[in-house]
Structure 1
Amino acid sequence: RLGLEASGWETIWANQWEPSTKTQHAAECYEKRFGGGTLVNEDINQIVERIGDDGPGPIPDHDLLVGGFPCQDYSVAKVRSQAHGIVGKKGVLWWAIHRILETKRPSFVFLENVDRLLKSPTAQRGRDFAIILACLSDLGYIVEWRVANAADYGFPQRRRRVFLVAHHVGDGSEPKWRGPISWMAEDGALARGLPGDGPSPSQFNPPDIKLQGDLAEITEGFGLGNLMTPFLSAGVMWRREVWTTAIRSVYSGPRKVLRDVLQPAKEIPESFFIPEAQVERWTYLKGSKNVPRIAKNGHEYLYSEGGIAFPDPIDQPSRTILTGEGGVTPSRFKHVIDAGDGRLRRLTPLELERLNGFPDGWTETGMPDGRRAFMMGNALVVGLVERVGRTLANSL
């Protein structure tokens, strides 16, 4: 919301629900910062069950639907007793999004996910993304996607995500279709908001993929036997025809690094410094390993992993913030920096907020520091959202 409202959008309805926790920290933070009136703190799957085919339902009409959703099983099954004959798995967030789009048909859709979405599941590489593309095509959308690393556009965190933008065809908001090359290089919202070294003509004739069959048939057959996903880091789909290519970001503006978000030493609470007695454990977890292990079935194998820089360099963008960033327990994935006085320390919640572009103290609403870190591990880089939001706002 911060990035979209900075680019000219107005939020009229929002949903946030944490099914695994009694205290709804994210919803409380949202209402603390934005005020009440727009947020519904309820399971979205229950909300969409109240949407009728003809009535207005609980969700208002809107121009842009925005959402982030976890990698889940998007497969569908044919069920003769169902009116449409095809149903998705209950509780999978994508199908709640699909139900909203089915009844509201907003001009734009803006979705985000980890880039693993392009290649899941392991047994059918790319199947889940193919289902999403087919769904959107059948609802009348042109779809573009792009994998973007925030650090490539000057932000102080290396955070790779796949962004998907869909334009509803026929309502006058979508750019004129001049073919996949023009859409990928110039016309699409992602081409303008997250520019890259556009595709060459030879890469897009004919389409790389044709999504054939109903959703159940795609579930059963797409990607069988594939060792790699057919979906590359960027692409466009129209009328179930897909063109895809690898694109590198193009950016020549100012760049920030981890050092730029650090607080002065005098502001760091003592609890964020690593006790000398724990340094050896941290060093082991961060280092490379070749450890013999025995599986439950008795099979012996060698577990290997490469090392992670320890401490983290502050003259580069940080690594990706993960949801387990908080807490004092030694971890391979938490950030640790040289405090400059011979000691090592973890990053504070405020520094994590800065890495994502949030205002200082945004999550300081009474939740524990560990939950504040968790929120930033789930968040997007605000400035990256703003770049895409601005291109969409200019399309209206």
Structure 2
Amino acid sequence: MQQLKVCELFAGVGGFRLGLEKTGHYNVVWSNQWEPSTKAQHASLVYEAKFGPKNHSNVNIEEVPTSEVPDHDILVGGFPCQDYSVATTLKNSKGLIGKKGVLWWSIHRILSEKKIKPKYLFLENVDRLLKSPSNQRGRDFAVMLRSLNDLGYAVEWRVINAADYGMPQRRRRVFFLGYHKSTAIYKKFKSSPPKEWLLEQGVISSAFPTQSAVQNMDSFFLEENLVSLSDSFNSDKGLSPFLNSGVCIDGKVSTLKSSPSYGENRTVLSDVLENGSASENLFIPEGDLPKWQYLKGGKKEIRKTKAGFEYNYSEGSMVFPDALDQPSRTIITGEGGKSPSRFKHVVQTSAGLRRLSPVELERLNMFPDNHTKLDGISDTKRAFFMGNALVVGVVEQMGNALFQKIKNLEKQFQS
């Protein structure tokens, strides 16, 4: 079976591409990366420096005509988490528009307008997606599942914490795979009991094994009309009905809470450190230490708003410095820069306390060393990239499992 052609949207600095290309089974035929609020397109510059400018688009995806996106087998991307509510256009009651700037609708548009639709989707988002927005928990994900269902896709999803599977960072993200009804996987999926697919037969469970679920599975149907689904889904403001694993096929959602199953071989924070080669400017000056200790410590204090209103503020303490014998905490976009912060990582080394280097942050996301190193790109910006990136190892394992499943099922259905 030859390589699958990939279209990579919201490419960032290329985490999806790295993971998929590492398997040897995928070939990126087109990519798009656009940072809306900045003049300098730093992530796109890094992407081009690593993978070359050919077939790479650095234009707002909302302004790229579908005709410019080449045909592909699999569409991938970590799209931004936004408000996915639905409205209709006045001219056309069936016309579906999300708010401008809500980039889910760009994926939707490409899938709608492509004559030859991609057979597979591989998408990623923050796990909050399953329970947003707060006044209608789960609505955004319900709208996505229903709209993908209407375009001919069955979907399976799982919230994966990379550290649960031996990777060096505790980073929880929801990954979902879509299978077009023309594929062998879709046919197998449709004939399998949802629980078996989720725990044993599905692509995600073969990449990331689970313990057998103890509790029952919940099932419900998604309303067909997207606008009324958007208006009324879970409007009694209860908990989100979407648990950390699930499937949606023919408008029916089946969801359960699964737990990871993994052996002993784990990577921890000490495994990624640059011992002895970290830059001097990462070390914390003695004078700054009290500020770091205050920010990382527990607090119960009275604070004042700008308007003079007093309120009680409290927060727990954080491990300081960070534990070296555990996977790291989640990297956030504000990880770079010298200023003391509650959320930046600080490690104790023989030479003193210091922040993490750009290379160490890359390693925590399983990127190659210096992947983001480029003239004109600051260390703070490199840290920002890693706060936005995904863990490459998760993509690689999922990509391998998907390819194997396609290969095996195509043989089965042909024979």
Interval containing the TM-score (normalised by the shorter chain):
over 0.9
1:106 to 105, 108, 118: 118
Select the residue among 97, 116, 121 that pairs with 2:128. Answer: 116
Hey, what does 2:56 align to over in structure 1? 39
Secondary structure, counterpart of 2:343 in structure 1: coil
| Residue in structure 1 matched with residue 302 of structure 2 by the alignment | 292
Name which of structure 1's ranges 174-183 and 138-147 shifts more when overlaid on structure 2. Answer: 174-183
What is the deviation of 1:264? 1.6
Counterparts in 2 of 1:262 and 1:326: CA distance versus 1, 3 Å:
same
The separation in 2 between residues aligned to 1:390 and 1:140, in whole angstroms, is: 24
Helix, strand or coil at the partner of 2:253: strand
> For 1:369 and 1:125, how far apart are their aligned partners in 2?
37
What corresponds to 2:153 in structure 1?
141
1:203 pairs with one of 208, 213, 216: 216
* Residue range with higher mean Cα deviation, 299-308 or 233-242: 299-308
Distance 1:300 1:93, change over 3 A: same
Where 2:398 maps in the other structure, the secondary structure is helix
Q: How far apart, in 2, do the equivalents of 1:328 and 1:126 lie? A: 38
**Residue aligned with 1:14, SS:** strand
Q: Which residue identity is paired with 2:57? A: V
The answer for the alignment partner of 2:313 in structure 1 is: 303
Q: 189-198 or 125-134: which moved more?
A: 189-198
1:211-265 deviation per Cα after TM superposition (whole angstroms, max 9, x unaligned) = 1141110111112122311111111111111111111111115211000000122
Select between 100-109 and 124-133 the one with higher mean Cα deviation: 100-109
CA distance in 1 between partners of 2:290 and 2:246 (Å): 46
Compute the TM-score of the two structures, normalised by the length of structure 1: 0.93
Contact kept in structure 2, 1:148 and 1:162, CA below 8 Å:
yes
Aligned residue for 2:138? 126
In structure 2, what is the Cα distance between the partners aligned to 1:103 and 1:197?
40
Would you say 1:4 and 2:13 are equivalent positions? no
The one-letter amino acid of 2:261's match is V
Alignment of 1:25-36 (within 5 A): 25-36=42-53
Q: Cα gap change, 1:189/1:197 in structure 2, threshold over 3 Å: closer, same or farther?
A: same
Residues 184, 198 of structure 1: 8 Å contact kept: no
Unaligned runs of 5+ in 2: 1-16, 408-415
- The alignment yields a C-alpha RMSD, in angstroms, of 1.6
Contact 2:137 2:238 in 1 (8 A): yes
Cα distance in 1 for residues equivalent to 2:313 and 2:278:
37
2:240 maps to amino acid: T
Per the TM alignment, residue 97 of structure 1 is displaced from its structure 2 partner at its CA by 0.6
Q: 2:231 aligns with which of 220, 231, 251?
A: 220
Partner of 2:354: 345
Deviations 1:2-31 (A, max 9, x none): 100112111000000111221111111111
For structure 1, which segment, 35-44 or 291-300, has the greater mean C-alpha deviation from structure 2 after superposition?
291-300
The answer for the alignment partner of 1:191 in structure 2 is 205
1:356 aligns with 2:365: yes
**Could you tell me which of 377, 391, 395 is aligned with 1:385?**
395
2:11 is aligned to none
Contact 2:75–2:121 (CA under 8 A) maintained in structure 1: yes
Cα-to-partner distance string for 1:187-224 (whole Å, 9 max, x where unaligned) = 22111112212446x724xx522111411101111121
Aligned to 1:54: none
Q: 1:164 aligns with which of 147, 170, 176?
A: 176
Give the one of 323, 326, 337 matched to 1:313: 323
Q: What residue in structure 2 maps to residue 182 of structure 1?
A: 196
Equivalent residues, number = 384
Aligned to 2:250: 239
**Other structure's SS at 1:134 match:** helix
Separation in 1 of the partners of 2:185 and 2:132?
A: 32
Quote how far apart the aligned CAs of 1:369 are.
0.4
Amino acid at match of 1:350: V
- Residues in 1 aligned to 2:21 and 2:392: alpha-carbon distance in whole angstroms: 10
Q: Helix, strand or coil: the match of 2:228?
A: helix
Query: Any unmatched runs of 5+ in structure 1?
Result: 52-56
Work out whether residues 146 and 224 of structure 2, in 8 Å CA contact, stay in contact via their aligned partners in 1: no
Q: Of 244, 249, 274, which residue of structure 1 is paired with 2:284?
A: 274
Q: Is this contact kept in 2: 1:107–1:173, CA < 8 A?
A: no
CA drift at 1:36: 2.1
What amino acid is aligned across from residue 94 of structure 1 in structure 2? W
User: What secondary structure is seen at the aligned counterpart in 1 of 2:314?
Assistant: strand
The answer on 1:96 being equivalent to 2:106 is yes
Counterpart of 1:68? 78
CA deviation vs aligned residue, 1:98-131 (integer Å, no higher than 9, x gap): 1111123211101101100000001111110110
SS at match of 2:174: strand
Q: Is the 8 A contact 2:365 2:391 kept in 1?
A: yes
Q: What is the rounded CA distance, in whole Å, between the counterparts of 1:83 and 1:10 in structure 2?
A: 39
TM-score (norm 2): 0.89
Other structure's SS at 2:334 match: coil
Matched, 1:16 2:33: yes
Query: CA separation in 1, counterparts of 2:231 and 2:186?
Result: 32
Q: Which amino acid aligns with 1:182?
A: E
Q: Given residue 253 of structure 2, which amino acid in structure 1 is its aligned partner?
A: V
**1:317-349 C-alpha deviation (Å, 9 max, x unpaired):** 0000000000001000000011223x2100000
Identical positions, percent: 51
